[in-house]
Structure 1
Amino acid sequence: MSELGSALRALAALDPVDEAVTRARNACTELRWHNALRKRMPECRVESTVRAARASSALEGARYPIAYVREVIGAGREVPDDMSGTQLSAAVRVAAVAQEYSERPDALRGGLAHILSKLSLAAGAGLVPDEQLGRPRLAGEVPGDLGGLPPAPGPEELADRLGQLDALLTDPTLPGLVVAAILQGEIIALRPFVIGNGLIARALFRIQLVSSGVDPTGVGVPEAAFLSDVQGYGQGGAAYTSGSDVPGWIVSCATAVEKGAGEGRTVCQAVQSGKIPQNI
């Protein structure tokens, strides 16, 4: 067992973490049996993707109404030709990649580097030169997002820690939600790309949650929970990055999954009652 794997098991065994993870799993189980998912699962997952993209975009400062994002995804509506529109487009592309890979069981196992590359291409298009996308930062390159955190590590440490994450994902016995929280926290701490790290971190979180079976429906929207407490989300990421409160970060991620399952139930109810347009 790797050192990181042993540390993760110890974290998962802490009472606050175990209790938060249990609540989250119970909420996801309750969501799984919603009547709307028996025959209308695809519609519910599409709407979840809309809400995930909208929330993740808003966390990057590009706030748009859900109905607007729904039209962008469902009908190809053009976005404004400005930084806000470019950021929304990035969030939509990243959400599409996350949806694609989350449908594959244990999608990240053995494929972390490839998926990170695809997410980087999706997150950074139009924001930085193409040659800076699809691969981790090189010497002299600094991340252009997630400001206010301690300095990001250089290429050598970055490569080592990404390798540890890849090795961590080979152990199927580790708790999926805790692994998802560590994945998101590490991307926030490492900021491995020159841009788009926040979008990528949340996308990895979603992929791991769904593909590892924590939320097999893929209808939960933890991103909405992160958006509902922007300050707490930022503080949690900073605490993880500094190492001052890793258990607190995991608890906050588990709480977001629990609340995101509630948002998923809202999605199911809206689809079931015909409140979401299907002709866009």
Structure 2
Amino acid sequence: MPTPSDALRTLASIPEVDAAVTAARNACTELRWHNALRKRMPECRAEATIRAARASAALEGARYPLTFVREVVGAGREVPSDLSGAQLSASVRVAAVTQELSEKPDALRTGFSHTLSKLALAAGAGLAPEEQLGRPRIAGETPGDLGGLPPAPDPGEIAERLAFLEELLADPTLPGLVVASILHGEILALRPFVIGNGLVARALFRIHLVSAGVDPTGVNVPEAAFLSDATGYGQGGAYYTSGKDVPGWIISCASAVEKGAGEGRQVCQSVQAGRIPRSV
């Protein structure tokens, strides 16, 4: 019987998938050697994290200028006391946890459940009752986000498919970008938490890109590419969730990484030119 790893290798071997993944990896390699990263990588990575937080929040409906988000992160600026502000705060928290975890080797291969819990807690605080945070949904609970997707599975199926993800993560020989795309798509499909599933899905994608060596600098910003085509991103998630086009989802994720490398180069150029406050 084919294993999850076998299934993933089959997906990765599809010519269109392989071409998209190769293009993304080449873009990440080019970004890696940008001059700004030789001496100012921490600043570049911090700015990329801020841009990721802004884009991820915007995908949840909380749209704020980059300068505002930079001030929230760097200077503790207060956010509006409404749903939009709560969503931005959640995205900023998740981005901070994501940066912390992505700096650890094999961040997702050890303690996957704990990592999910930590991200879910950061994503849901202020948006759901405290007793529902940091754990998968139980019987009778439904996700309060990502409307428009096919119905979310029940808790029993969630447990099985999270175990499938752990099995994939346990195999270090699998292509990192393809695994990251499946992690991303599965969380969107499962919506295992009552809230914050989109933030958690994109965080796992980002963490694995870094820890698997696809984007070792952490300066790529695929979230910006997802935001630039939010409609396409939503449709891709729906196709993945329904099982209609898993290869297409992987290709779209790879394309976002390729485009995210361009956003990363803009980050590097802005840091070099002194256009970003050093306090960040």
Interval of TM-score (by shorter of Structure 1 and Structure 2): over 0.9
Paired position in structure 2 for 1:159: 159
Q: Is the 8 A contact 2:4 2:167 kept in 1?
A: no
**Higher mean displacement: 190-199 or 102-111:** 102-111
Gaps of 5+ in 2: none
Q: Is the 8 A contact 1:110 1:166 kept in 2?
A: no
Paired position in structure 2 for 1:46: 46
Q: Is the 8 A contact 1:220 1:257 kept in 2?
A: yes
Paired position in structure 1 for 2:113: 113
Paired position in structure 2 for 1:11: 11
Task: Give the partner amino acid of 1:251.
Answer: I
1:1-280 to 2 correspondence within 5 Å? 3-279=3-279
1:2: how far off? 6.2
Task: Give the partner amino acid of 1:271.
Answer: V
Task: Give the partner amino acid of 1:138.
Answer: I
Q: Is the 8 A contact 1:2 1:168 kept in 2?
A: no
Q: Deviations over 1:160-179 (max 9, x none)?
A: 10011011100000000000
1:84: how far off? 0.4
Q: Deviations over 1:59-98 (max 9, x none)?
A: 0000000000000001111100000000000000000010
Supply the distance in 1 between the matched residues of 2:14 and 2:260 (Cα, whole angstroms): 23
Task: Give the partner amino acid of 1:83.
Answer: L
Task: Give the partner amino acid of 1:39.
Answer: K
Q: Which runs of 4+ in 1 moved over 4 A?
A: none
Task: Give the partner amino acid of 2:20.
Answer: A
Q: Deviations over 1:44-64 (max 9, x none)?
A: 000000000000000000000
1:181: how far off? 0.1
- For residues 113 and 248 of structure 1, do their structure 2 counterparts lie closer, same or farther at Cα, with a shift above 3 Å needed? same
Q: Deviations over 1:184-234 (max 9, x none)?
A: 000000000000000000000000000110000000000000000000000
Identity percentage of aligned residues = 77
1:110: how far off? 2.4
Could you tell me the TM-score, scaled by structure 2's length?
0.99
Supply the distance in 2 between the matched residues of 1:123 and 1:87 (Cα, whole angstroms): 8
Supply the distance in 1 between the matched residues of 2:2 and 2:109 (Cα, whole angstroms): 15
Supply the distance in 2 between the matched residues of 1:192 and 1:81 (Cα, whole angstroms): 27
Indicate the SS of the match to 1:265.
helix
Task: Give the partner amino acid of 1:168.
Answer: L
Indicate the SS of the match to 1:25.
helix
Supply the distance in 2 between the matched residues of 1:156 and 1:211 (Cα, whole angstroms): 29
Could you tell me the TM-score, scaled by structure 1's length?
0.99
Supply the distance in 2 between the matched residues of 1:2 and 1:135 (Cα, whole angstroms): 30
Supply the distance in 2 between the matched residues of 1:76 and 1:138 (Cα, whole angstroms): 35
Supply the distance in 2 between the matched residues of 1:111 and 1:257 (Cα, whole angstroms): 26
Supply the distance in 2 between the matched residues of 1:3 and 1:139 (Cα, whole angstroms): 29
Q: Aligned-residue CA RMSD in angstroms?
A: 0.9
Gaps of 5+ in 1: none
